[in-house]
A and B are shown apart, each in its own frame.
Chain A
Amino acid sequence: MGAVVGTLTMQTKQRQPSRDKVDDDLEMTMVCHRPEGLDQLEAQTNFSKRELQVLYRGFKNECPSGVVNEETFKQIYSQFFPHGDASTYAHYLFNAFDSGHSGSIKFEDFVTALSILLRGSTREKLQWTFNLYDINKDGYINKEEMTDIVRAIYDMMGKYTYPALKTDAPKQHVDAFFQKMDKNRDGVVTLDEFILSCQEDENIMRSLQLFENVI
């Protein structure tokens, strides 16, 4: 009789996934965002229609739901920097992209930021960068924020670098930065100081032109 019962149980396959997880997943996929019309986006950004099409196709392929949340963003960004830990920097980057502070990047945010970075004027680019560095978005960059950013960037390098990373390298970097940028030595860098200092530096100006042909 034991064998009979056993054979019967063999026929039925029982699967009981945890209900909560399934429900969560369903909810996730329900969220779907569609961008504004192509014409509007073309007007708002510096991209042509064709470029927007290409961008959107890539974006939609990766994120069929139309939005990127922070986890996914971190994952994607980490894949480009396998040596080190890119999650912290990705976090700051995410906040820079997510201009509406909604917790997820929509296609409009994506394309707006790209437009600035690739097709924008120098001032716009520098403004975007300032916004990136200003973690709490209060209009000032102080030393702590800068240290966090620099440390996050150094984290992306990973452990194995040449020459070997010293522990105070971020601090030194930040000090040098402030030396250059903080004109009135008040311990914080404002937007104008930042833009002014960058415009004085030829290297930075030249480098800004380099990234125009990425798309």
Chain B
Amino acid sequence: MAAGVATWLPFARAAAVGWLPLAKKTMPKPPVDKKSRNDEILIVNVSGLRFQTWKNTLDRYPDTLLGSSEKEFFYNEDTREYFFDRDPEMFRHILNFYRTGKLHYPRQECIQAFDEELAFYGIVPDIIGDCCMEEYRDRKKENQERLAEDTEAEMATDTPLPPNSTPRERLWRAFENPHTSTMALVFYYVTGFFIAVSVIANVVETVPCRPPKGSVKDLPCGEKYSVAFFCMDTACVLIFTFEYLMRLFAAPSRCKFMRSVMSVIDVVAIMPYYIGLVMPENEDVSGAFVTLRVFRVFRIFKFSRHSQGLRILGYTLKSCASELGFLLFSLTMAIIIFATVMFYAEKGTKGTNFTSIPASFWYTIVTMTTLGYGDMVPNTIAGKIFGSICSLSGVLVIALPVPVIVSNFSRIYHQNQRADKMRAQQKVRLARIRLAKKGTTNAFLHYKEEGGLQDHDSDSAALCLKNRSSFEHQHHHLLHCLEKTTNHEFTDELTYSEMCMTESVGYRTSRSTSLSSQQPVSSSCCPRRAKRRAIRLANSTVSVSRGSIQELDTLQVQKSSVVPQSRSSLNARTEDLKLNCEHRDYTAAIISIPTPPANTPDESLPPSPAVPGILRNSRSISSFTHETVKISSL
């Protein structure tokens, strides 16, 4: 029941007084309405634009956000209004729905934005009024189609092959998307070339060549150079057969492949040759054989694999099948009618061409399509009159379905253009997305470097980190929690690959140098990196009150001694951690290299040099007093 009618309900109830004298039983008690009946004006603030409406208006649809108590979540006590952080332009339409009971779709808005607004306000799109329903549905369908083909395009071409694909899958992929590998591309062009050669050969062999010596009649080239043409034909057919068999082998679903249009075309293109080989050379059959050669021209359709435009045309014709059917049907009707009329009109004339109705078909067709060869013309006056009516109506009948076909073709063509554009831009887009992702990862690593991982008890921490937004703080905290949960840490690609390489090296060196004090080589398996770090530290504004500042390469924290060997190998990462605030009495750079943690007890002497190998700093930064920070210089 429309909510607008709800305003008449009190009136209908009042009219029930008319039943009272007739009532056989007593009337039931009316429901008590506890809500205050005073109508008040509500202010709805949508992104600054203030809308005001009666409370009753909103109450008409209790299933929606604004009509139910859900809107209380958006109530702002201070300003005594309902605040929504949404599009104010769209809200106008939403509110109009409450007021008039009809939802209209604004034509200039994006369909998806509109849908999202409707979903937010809890309004079902099905109630869009008839005036706008068609437009809404069309736009929605178009949008969905576009999204479908976008995801298709994404998934289709440039997806990298799954790592363990069989040769068969690779072959199929090479056939379907020639751009993926050079071999496929080469094959693609070779087949294209041979299709062209074959078609041209078919054409040229019928051209009359100069007759050989001793004959006056012109001979078609095909008979003059029959051997050459035969060889060319054989070569082409061999290539096509090979290609067809390869495709058949590689196809994921052979039955489906054999039923597809392209494969049928392939078969039809090569069949005549084989049939010609098999058939004997006698007179009766050779007539049929000549007919078979006509099918060789179907090779030209193989080009549709190479040309997208051709495919679009084929697809258009398929999708306009009904319009084409209608065209054909109406033409046939008109032809029969006019042929009959013309035949009877011209029947009396002597020596007329209109010998029978089927003979008049030819005249009718030629006239209706405005060709007008002139091989058959009416002579009687009646014939001429009907002839002219025939040509006029022909224009009309053909003009009717053609616009539909044209618009279909245009739509499909534009869709394809769009798909091509998307594919071209895909690479750029993907690169940008990858860059952005890398940016966030790097941000986290950078954050860790700058001491974000320690507790924020001391004020000094605030100094280091004041440039981060609160969002970043929280995000990094989250990533940190994840690290803690999984007991792994984030690193970047470069470090990871390096660590994988040098893991074994580091292991060996660390063992050997565990007991020695100052080992220039030991601490880092990446001396280059260490130097870089040292330079970086030197340039920093870190204040260190203890230990050598210049080359702070390794820092070992005592507490974190229970790092198992295996784990540290997984952690292959390098971190520079700068603890650089005033209250700290050390600054250090931390390299975590997979090292056995057992070295720790040896380094209890404060300034003594470190065991090479840094253990993870992050676990032990709870209290600085207990920790021995070893600084070694390289």
B22 touches A153 (CB 8 A): yes
B28 nearest in chain A by CB position: A210
Contact of A215 among B10, B15, B32 (CB under 8 A): B10
Question: What residues on B are CB-neighbors of A82 within 8 Å?
Answer: 1
Question: What residues on B are CB-neighbors of A194 within 8 Å?
Answer: 21
B16 touches A177 (CB 8 A): no
B7, B20, B394 interface centre (most CB from chain A within 10 Å): B20
Decide if A57 is an interface residue (CB 8 Å cutoff). yes
Instruction: Please report the C-alpha to C-alpha distance between residue A6 and residue B32 in the assembled complex, in whole angstroms.
Output: 67
A114 touches B18 (CB 8 A): no
Distance from B11 Cβ to chain A, minimum over Cβ atoms (Å):
6
Question: Can you give 13 contacting A-B residue pairs, CB < 8 Å?
Answer: A3-B398, A3-B402, A7-B403, A9-B399, A54-B56, A62-B5, A62-B8, A79-B5, A80-B12, A114-B10, A150-B22, A208-B17, A213-B32
- Given A2-B394, A62-B4, A79-B1, A96 and B18 contact (CB-CB distance below 8 Å): yes
Distance from A182 Cβ to chain B, minimum over Cβ atoms (Å):
13
Distance from A60 Cβ to chain B, minimum over Cβ atoms (Å):
10
Instruction: Please report the C-alpha to C-alpha distance between residue A1 and residue B397 in the assembled complex, in whole angstroms.
Output: 12
A214 touches B20 (CB 8 A): no
Binds B, one of A14-22, A125-133, A158-166: A125-133
Instruction: Please report the C-alpha to C-alpha distance between residue A3 and residue B398 in the assembled complex, in whole angstroms.
Output: 7
A1 touches B29 (CB 8 A): no
B19 touches A153 (CB 8 A): yes
The B-contacting residues of A in range 23-46, CB under 8 angstroms, are none
Instruction: Please report the C-alpha to C-alpha distance between residue A7 and residue B402 in the assembled complex, in whole angstroms.
Output: 7
B395 nearest in chain A by CB position: A2
Decide if B9 is an interface residue (CB 8 Å cutoff). yes
The B-contacting residues of A in range 126-154, CB under 8 angstroms, are 126, 128-129, 132-133, 149-150, 153
Main secondary structure of the interface of A (DSSP, over half): helix
Question: What residues on A are CB-neighbors of B56 within 8 Å?
Answer: 54
Question: What residues on A are CB-neighbors of B370 within 8 Å?
Answer: 1-2
Distance from A68 Cβ to chain B, minimum over Cβ atoms (Å):
9
Question: What residues on B are CB-neighbors of A59 within 8 Å?
Answer: 7
Distance from A138 Cβ to chain B, minimum over Cβ atoms (Å):
18
Instruction: Please report the C-alpha to C-alpha distance between residue A128 and residue B21 in the assembled complex, in whole angstroms.
Output: 12
Instruction: Please report the C-alpha to C-alpha distance between residue A188 and residue B414 in the assembled complex, in whole angstroms.
Output: 80
B14 touches A114 (CB 8 A): yes
Instruction: Please report the C-alpha to C-alpha distance between residue A60 and residue B135 in the assembled complex, in whole angstroms.
Output: 30
B27 touches A210 (CB 8 A): yes
- Tier of interface size on chain B: 35 or more
Instruction: Please report the C-alpha to C-alpha distance between residue A82 and residue B12 in the assembled complex, in whole angstroms.
Output: 14
The 3 A-B residue pairs with the shortest CB-CB distance in the complex, in nearest-first order: A2-B398, A58-B7, A6-B399
Decide if A102 is an interface residue (CB 8 Å cutoff). no
Contact of B8 among A10, A76, A113 (CB under 8 A): A76
Instruction: Please report the C-alpha to C-alpha distance between residue A101 and residue B340 in the assembled complex, in whole angstroms.
Output: 67
- Given A3-B399, A110-B11, A128 and B26 contact (CB-CB distance below 8 Å): no
Question: What residues on B are CB-neighbors of A177 within 8 Å?
Answer: 21-22
- Given A10-B407, A118-B14, A204 and B20 contact (CB-CB distance below 8 Å): yes
Distance from A129 Cβ to chain B, minimum over Cβ atoms (Å):
5
Question: What residues on B are CB-neighbors of A7 within 8 Å?
Answer: 402-403, 406
The B-contacting residues of A in range 111-126, CB under 8 angstroms, are 113-114, 117-118, 125-126
Instruction: Please report the C-alpha to C-alpha distance between residue A176 and residue B2 in the assembled complex, in whole angstroms.
Output: 38
Decide if B400 is an interface residue (CB 8 Å cutoff). yes
Instruction: Please report the C-alpha to C-alpha distance between residue A206 and residue B20 in the assembled complex, in whole angstroms.
Output: 10
Decide if A203 is an interface residue (CB 8 Å cutoff). yes
Distance from A97 Cβ to chain B, minimum over Cβ atoms (Å):
8
B30 touches A211 (CB 8 A): yes
Decide if B375 is an interface residue (CB 8 Å cutoff). no
Decide if B54 is an interface residue (CB 8 Å cutoff). yes
Instruction: Please report the C-alpha to C-alpha distance between residue A93 and residue B455 in the assembled complex, in whole angstroms.
Output: 80
Distance from B99 Cβ to chain A, minimum over Cβ atoms (Å):
8
Instruction: Please report the C-alpha to C-alpha distance between residue A194 and residue B406 in the assembled complex, in whole angstroms.
Output: 77
B22 touches A211 (CB 8 A): no
Decide if B13 is an interface residue (CB 8 Å cutoff). yes
A110, A129, A173 interface centre (most CB from chain B within 10 Å): A129
Distance from B366 Cβ to chain A, minimum over Cβ atoms (Å):
14
The B-contacting residues of A in range 56-80, CB under 8 angstroms, are 57-59, 61-62, 76-77, 79-80
Question: What residues on A are CB-neighbors of B37 within 8 Å?
Answer: 215
A212 nearest in chain B by CB position: B30
Instruction: Please report the C-alpha to C-alpha distance between residue A2 and residue B14 in the assembled complex, in whole angstroms.
Output: 67
Instruction: Please report the C-alpha to C-alpha distance between residue A215 and residue B400 in the assembled complex, in whole angstroms.
Output: 61
Question: What residues on A are CB-neighbors of B403 within 8 Å?
Answer: 6-7, 9-10
Instruction: Please report the C-alpha to C-alpha distance between residue A181 and residue B20 in the assembled complex, in whole angstroms.
Output: 13
Decide if A52 is an interface residue (CB 8 Å cutoff). no
Question: What residues on A are CB-neighbors of B407 within 8 Å?
Answer: 10
B5 touches A6 (CB 8 A): no
Decide if A191 is an interface residue (CB 8 Å cutoff). no
B2 touches A93 (CB 8 A): no
Question: What residues on B are CB-neighbors of A153 within 8 Å?
Answer: 19, 22
B15 touches A93 (CB 8 A): yes
Decide if B502 is an interface residue (CB 8 Å cutoff). no
Distance from A199 Cβ to chain B, minimum over Cβ atoms (Å):
11
Instruction: Please report the C-alpha to C-alpha distance between residue A181 and residue B219 in the assembled complex, in whole angstroms.
Output: 118
Decide if A184 is an interface residue (CB 8 Å cutoff). no
Instruction: Please report the C-alpha to C-alpha distance between residue A77 and residue B5 in the assembled complex, in whole angstroms.
Output: 9
Instruction: Please report the C-alpha to C-alpha distance between residue A211 and residue B20 in the assembled complex, in whole angstroms.
Output: 11
B4, B15, B25 interface centre (most CB from chain A within 10 Å): B15
A214 touches B13 (CB 8 A): yes
Contact of B26 among A62, A76, A203 (CB under 8 A): A203
Extra contacts besides A58-B8, A150-B22 (5): CB < 8 Å: A2-B395, A79-B2, A80-B8, A153-B22, A203-B23
A129 touches B402 (CB 8 A): no
Decide if B33 is an interface residue (CB 8 Å cutoff). yes
Instruction: Please report the C-alpha to C-alpha distance between residue A150 and residue B23 in the assembled complex, in whole angstroms.
Output: 10
Instruction: Please report the C-alpha to C-alpha distance between residue A129 and residue B14 in the assembled complex, in whole angstroms.
Output: 11
- Given A10-B407, A153-B22, A211 and B17 contact (CB-CB distance below 8 Å): yes
Instruction: Please report the C-alpha to C-alpha distance between residue A215 and residue B270 in the assembled complex, in whole angstroms.
Output: 87
A211 touches B13 (CB 8 A): yes
Question: What residues on B are CB-neighbors of A10 within 8 Å?
Answer: 403, 406-407
